[in-house]
Amino acid sequence: MEIYCTRPGCPRPVNQYPDLDDKATLKASRQRYCTTCGMELILKDRYIPLKLLGRGGFGAAFLARDRYTPAMRLCVVKQFQPAGDLTPDQLHLAQNLFEREGEVLEDLGKHPQIPDLYAFFEIDPPPGGAAGQPNKFFYLVQEYIDGQTLEEMLGRTGTFSEAEVMQLLLEILPVLKFVHESGSIHRDIKPSNIIRRRDGVYHLLDFGAVKQVTSGAAVGAQPGRSTGIYSMGFAPPEQMRGDRVYPATDLYALAVTCVMLLTGKDPADLYDNYSDRWNWRAYAQVSDRLEAVLNRLLQAAPSQRFQSATEVLQALKPAISPSKPAHSTSVQAAAQPVAQPIAQPAVPPAIPQPAATPSPRPASPVPSPKVQSNARPAAITQPPSGKRGSHRVARSLSLGELIGSAAFTGSEGGLVAIAAASLLGTTALTWLIVTGVAIVGLVIAQYLRWIEKVDLLIIEAVTLGIVAFFPALHSVPSVGLTASAALSQILPVLAPLVILSGLGVVAIALIFRLIYTLLSRLL
């Protein structure tokens, strides 16, 4: 059996104990210690870490087994691991957030779609750690949800359909209703904090950022204000400003999550800074009803959104049923009774908004880096810088985008092939290698969106100009000719080759798209 050392910075954390493969030996075994740093491996003489699930924020998460249960059930062990550059106030706040997550899970874990809390304890580590490490390690043990987060699903299978998003809303909104009615605001709704279990049931994760609204201000915050904890790209304006948060704060983040799933784009790419408005509808195929509901949830002012998960479910009710969503063309615009934030001063009544009017909000947000399911407590973030993040999400291309991308790749590959043949000779192997590397590089650059849209036309025009006007890069001599004469002699040779190359790659891309579509429907 492999046991993973939980001491931060251990150079060789994986420890091999073949004798523990026997279940009876494992249950009766005495404490084992890391062969590298001496850290005790069986936490509280009960929980056996098997592997690292992820790190982020102020913690690390490990997949573990509870050896004191009949089936040695799997669980998730979270360890509080603050960064070394925190100020004393930030460290104190981070520790309080970690402890709060345990308290919240103990209370909210009774809901079947929220992980249950199994244990919360601290350990005095033996000597052997790096300088500056804390004198105590804090651990939280919770239920293990075997499945994929929405972020992982989006990266692997591409955008969600309207029916899939409707099903997500139908399952997660009642969970949020339970959280809000229990006197809490999650404050960190995003794709990496919602997981779909293998049986298809959605669960809500990561309650380290929860604000207990019934107990006044959060630890470290001024009275009546919120701590600066949020995931950029998903937090609404009031949360980014550190103002009071409401149930509508979580609903805003859920709406951002939905438009990200529908479009496959980062929130930063869906928010137009120039017009100061959300611009997601052009990238998604949805009914007018769902569009109107999401747009209202994305309003900048909390009072202009739906005020509770129940209101959202009522607005979606005509569009969804237990079996499938029923598309509709309108949404009720009449003002509904406003549910006031729990133990907060009342906000003005909800103002109905036109369905097609996106909401303004502060500077373009950037989503936080991905953390695996159950991987961390919430992070304290710095004010947004306004820069686009490097995090990208794989997405499905529309047919038009696919054809345009394939045509660019093929024609650009044809120009590179002409230049390679002119410079390196007509050796088939050399020509194929150079051209293949160029095409692969172009595909990767487009997949990562280093180049897109107008970039493709600019690159194509520049490459064509270089190949056409430099005699060494093409086989048709143009030395001594005027520019117009050279083009009239060169383009009739280059154009057919470039066009044929582009059409060839388009044909290949369409064939692969057809095969993929057929397989996805059959499997």
DSSP states of 364-398: PP-PPPP--TT--PPPPPPPP--PPPS-----PPP
Band of residue 223 on the pLDDT scale cut at 50, 70, 90: very low
Q: Of 394, 412, 433, which closes a domain? A: 394
> Which pLDDT score is estimated for 295?
94
Band of residue 77 on the pLDDT scale cut at 50, 70, 90: very high
CA–CA dist 368, 377 (Å, integer): 13
Do 132 and 119 sit in the same domain of this protein? yes
Structure-block tokens of residue 312: 């959202």
Do 131 and 172 sit in the same domain of this protein? no
DSSP of 158-222, one letter per residue?
-PPPHHHHHHHHHHHHHHHHHHHHTTEE----SGGGEEEETTS-EEE---TT-EEGGG-SPTTS-
Percent of the chain residues topping a pLDDT of 90: 33
How big is the CA angle at 404 (ends 504 and 512), to the nearest 5 degrees? 55
- Containing 493, the helix (H) or strand (E) segment is helix 483-522
Partners of 143 in the β-ladder: 75
Residue located via tokens 């499938």:
324
Partners of 54 in the β-ladder: 61
Do 181 and 292 sit in the same domain of this protein? yes
Phi, psi of 138 (to 5 degrees): -110, 135
Q: What is the pLDDT of residues 416-427, one digit of tens each?
A: 777 776 776 656
CA–CA dist 74, 1 (Å, integer): 15
Please list the active-site residues: 188
CA 108 → CA 114, 183, 329, distances in Å? 7, 10, 37
CA–CA dist 454, 171 (Å, integer): 40
CA–CA dist 194, 257 (Å, integer): 10
Do 155 and 251 sit in the same domain of this protein? yes
Which residues have C-beta within 8 Å of that of residue 27, sequence separation ≥ 6? Answer: 67, 68, 72
Query: What length is written for the chain?
Result: 523
Q: What is the DSSP letter of 43?
A: B
Q: Which amino acid is at 114?
A: I
Q: Tally Cβ neighbours within 10 Å of residue 251.
A: 25
Is residue 242 scored above 70 in pLDDT?
yes
Do 116 and 236 sit in the same domain of this protein? no
Structure-block tokens of residue 501: 């190359």
Q: What is the pLDDT of residues 176-222, one digit of tens each?
A: 999 999 888 888 899 999 999 999 999 999 876 555 453 333 334 44
Q: What is the pLDDT of residues 23-44, one digit of tens each?
A: 999 999 999 999 999 999 999 9
Total domains present in the chain: 3
Give me the domain span that covers residue 110.
2-143
> Which pLDDT score is estimated for 386?
36
Do 184 and 218 sit in the same domain of this protein? yes
Residue located via tokens 């003002």:
335
Q: Of 394, 420, 447, which closes a domain? A: 394
CA–CA dist 78, 64 (Å, integer): 10
Do 305 and 168 sit in the same domain of this protein? yes
> Which pLDDT score is estimated for 492?
61
Do 134 and 174 sit in the same domain of this protein? no
CA–CA dist 285, 246 (Å, integer): 30
Band of residue 514 on the pLDDT scale cut at 50, 70, 90: confident
120: left (phi over 0), alpha (psi -120 to 50) or beta: beta
Q: Of 345, 364, 394, which closes a domain? A: 394
The CATH number that applies at residue 200 is 1.10.510.10
Residue 191 near residue 253 (C-beta atoms within 8 A)? no
Structure-block tokens of residue 26: 């494992």
Residue located via tokens 């050279």:
486
Residue located via tokens 């930030």:
90
Q: Tally Cβ neighbours within 10 Å of residue 380.
A: 18
> Which pLDDT score is estimated for 217?
35
Residue 377 near residue 97 (C-beta atoms within 8 A)? yes
Do 247 and 179 sit in the same domain of this protein? yes
Structure-block tokens of residue 247: 């149930």
Do 285 and 390 sit in the same domain of this protein? yes
> Which pLDDT score is estimated for 164?
95
Do 179 and 259 sit in the same domain of this protein? yes
Do 233 and 269 sit in the same domain of this protein? yes
Structure-block tokens of residue 135: 């004198």
Phi, psi of 233 (to 5 degrees): 105, -25
Phi, psi of 194 (to 5 degrees): -125, 125
Q: What is the pLDDT of residues 295-354, one digit of tens each?
A: 999 998 899 999 999 999 999 987 555 444 433 333 333 333 333 333 333 333 343 443
CA–CA dist 297, 308 (Å, integer): 10
314: left (phi over 0), alpha (psi -120 to 50) or beta: alpha
